[in-house]
Amino acid sequence: MSEKKQQVSRRQFLNYTLTGVGGFMAAGMLAPMVRFAIDPVLQASSGGDMHAVVDVSEITTEPQRFDWTIEQVDAWYTSDVTHSAWVYKDDNDEIVALSPTCKHLGCAVNWAGDPDHPDQFFCPCHEGRYYKDGVNVPNTPPNAALDLFEFEVREGTLYLGNAIERGGDN
Amino acid sequence: MKWQTKNLALYFQSQEYVDTLCIPLIPIELKNELEAIKLADQQKSLQLISDELERNFTGRIFLSPSYTYIKESDFDAESKRLNQWTSSLSQNKFQHIFFLTYDVNWKKYENNLEGSLIWLTANSIDDYQSDQTKNWIKSQINQISELIRSYW
């Protein structure tokens, strides 16, 4: 009997084939949709652009200013924009990277810029002052602490990302 | 602050803090190729310096768009026009007015100008990304900052 010898019947063979082809088609449609759905998650994990700024060995407990240039594209106009950060190691040997932008009107602050306050950041425009940790000194023009940069250390080099705003302190 | 939409909104909110006006003076001409190239190069470098200066003192300096003039013009007439231009722009709101330039011709007319002339010696820049250029610009900025702060 030839029918008994057949391991796969015609009906089964068609079933398998259709399931297989159908499966491929469904996967082809679903895969891009899943990728679209989880795209925001993948984006967030990359955490913005980080830029190599300085060798970690150069960082001391005294704040130093480091500049770096990034290419910024505004519509069709590309320009080089310079950013700066005040970087130092605090008492726990942790790196602190402060944005130099004064929270008052956006001037660049300097470490020890005011001879009367050698252990504070000083804004030359309207005499705003900040403590070493970036918190604003009360009764000076700024009303918030200096922004902190996102940072990471890879192979001995400090990379800085976006400046993150902290809340006001008074 | 700069002549930009975002900055202007902030400027009108906080006018009382912005008391310094900086105006770059840019000469142009198209008669001679080498001269034109030199002037274009100087314009770029002066723009870099003014932008950097503005970045350091955003909250107190208003950087005006450049005052542009023909290189071989009569500086007597040009300084009158510049004064007129400056006073209409500043409307007595700025206590300190600084002109930034590489053009030595202004030096003779300095006393006619209603503002302080900051004349810088030009330096031709080949590579804007080199460390040497960055250091040169940084030292220029430091010296100009010191001068401006002595007026404040």
DSSP state string for A48-68: S--EEEEEGGG--SS-EEEEE
| Number of domains present in the structure of chain B | 1
Give Dmax (Cα) for chain B.
46
Range of the domain at B19: 5-151
Q: Which residues of A touch B142 (CB under 8 A)?
A: none
Cα–Cα distance between B140 and A24 in angstroms, integer?
66
A99-102: Cβ within 8 A, 24+ apart: A99/A146, A99/A147, A99/A148, A99/A149, A99/A163, A100/A65, A100/A146, A101/A146, A101/A147, A101/A163, A101/B58, A102/A128, A102/A142, A102/A146, A102/B59
Comparing alpha-carbon positions, the chain A residue that sits nearest to B20 is: A125
Q: Which of A67, A103, A105, A143 to mutate to test the interface with B (most CBs of B within 10 A)?
A: A105
**Per this entry, what is the length of chain A?**
170
Does the beta carbon of B52 lie under 8 angstroms from any beta carbon of chain A? yes
Work out how many CB contacts closer than 8 A connect A with B: 41
Does the beta carbon of B55 lie under 8 angstroms from any beta carbon of chain A? yes
Count the Cβ atoms, other than its own, within 10 Å of residue A59.
20
Provide the pLDDT confidence category of residue A5 given band limits of 50, 70 and 90: low
Cα–Cα distance between A106 and B149 in angstroms, integer?
17
Is A72's pLDDT higher than 70? yes
Min CA distance, A22 vs chain B (Å)? 55
Min CA distance, A108 vs chain B (Å)? 5
Provide the pLDDT confidence category of residue A48 given band limits of 50, 70 and 90: low
- A89, HSE (Cβ side, Cα atoms, 13 Å): 11
- Over range A45-73, report the average pLDDT: 80
Does the beta carbon of B17 lie under 8 angstroms from any beta carbon of chain A? yes
Render B66-107 in DSSP notation, one character per residue: PEEEETTS-HHHHHHHHHHHHHHHHTT--SEEEEEES-THHH
Q: Is the ipTM beyond the 0.90 threshold?
A: no
| pLDDT on residue A24 | 95
- Residue window 91-120, chain B: list those with CB within 8 Å of chain A: none
Is B51's pLDDT higher than 60? yes
Least confident of A106-115, B35-44, B80-89: A106-115
| pLDDT on residue A170 | 44
Query: Coil, helix or strand for B123?
Result: coil
- Over range A94-102, report the average pLDDT: 88
The CATH number assigned to the domain holding B13 equals: 3.40.50
